[in-house]
Amino acid sequence: MGYDTGDIIDERYKILSPIGKGGHGTVYRAMDLELQSQVAIKFLHADIAREPGFATRMQREARAMGQLSGTSAVQVFAFNKASGGGMYLVMEYLEGTDLGRHVQSYEEHGQFMPVRELQELLEPIATTLEAAHARGIIHRDLKLANIFVLRSAGRGRVRLLDFGLVKDMKMDPLTMQGMVAGSPAYIAPEAWLGKPDLIDHRIDVYSFGVVVFRLLAGQMPFDPKQTIDKLILQVTRAPRPSLHALRPDLPARIDEWVKKALAVAPNDRFQSVQSLWQALQGVLQS
């Protein structure tokens, strides 16, 4: 169900305005009447909320997010069931834009994002992912749209959004609402191949490599506009693209980094986000 401006949820949260819709629900800007502070509330789609065990899984994920306090993960304050039956998450309210729109501000003028700014924005994301993986938490939907660049850098310049809001990775990825439909070009080969026993934190390593490639190259490593069948073939079988060919100003060694960051086999890939990130720094500083 939808909400209108002025609606009050559970006698505490006053809806101020809609923010947007995603694969998992609708997000509103709201006022926490008890604390007199703005928050963001995501109301989850009814079909997702009705899935067996969903509430238990979401409660577990919300608790897991509490473990990431102090990182650049978006803060989750509460996970509740509204009096009308719908489930919702209360999160910190962010002002700014996502990383996709942010990088477009450069590309519209024929420029690449400066390497120094890329490092500034992604360093906290790498650190947050590493902290999450150490706690057994996998993001599973890492993409430019889920990295938010804040207008004010008072509490850090970026936030990582939507931790734990995708379905169980043991499911067929083609049936996972939002993840494949919204971001197929970021998905690791092992997810497409339907091998749940291979799916672990290294799917985030692959996706983070795609994020870096996209920011440095100004394009995705594999064309997201082609049919899903062709995209899957490229992701799971094709040679990794040459970033140096697209950016001759970058060291030639960047292509070896790409091959390892986007390796098809998880065991051939960087085994952690931190090792991927440190190797990238070594290349960019050479």
CA distances from 113 to 21, 77, 99, 175, 212 (A): 28, 33, 11, 34, 11
CB 271 within 8 A of CB 204: no
- Give how far the C-alpha of residue 60 lies from the chain's centroid of Cα atoms, to the nearest Å: 19
* Catalytic member of 4, 47, 141, 197: 141
Write the single-letter amino acid at 269. Answer: R
SS3 158: strand
Alpha helices in 97-201 (DSSP H): 99-107, 115-134, 179-182, 189-192
CA of residue 123 relative to chain centroid, distance = 15
Active site residue 204: no
Distance CA 107, CA 40 (A): 30
What HEC string does 63-111 produce?
HHHHCCCCCCECCEEEEEECCCCCEEEEEECCCEEEHHHHHHHHHCCCC
Catalytic positions, written as ranges: 141
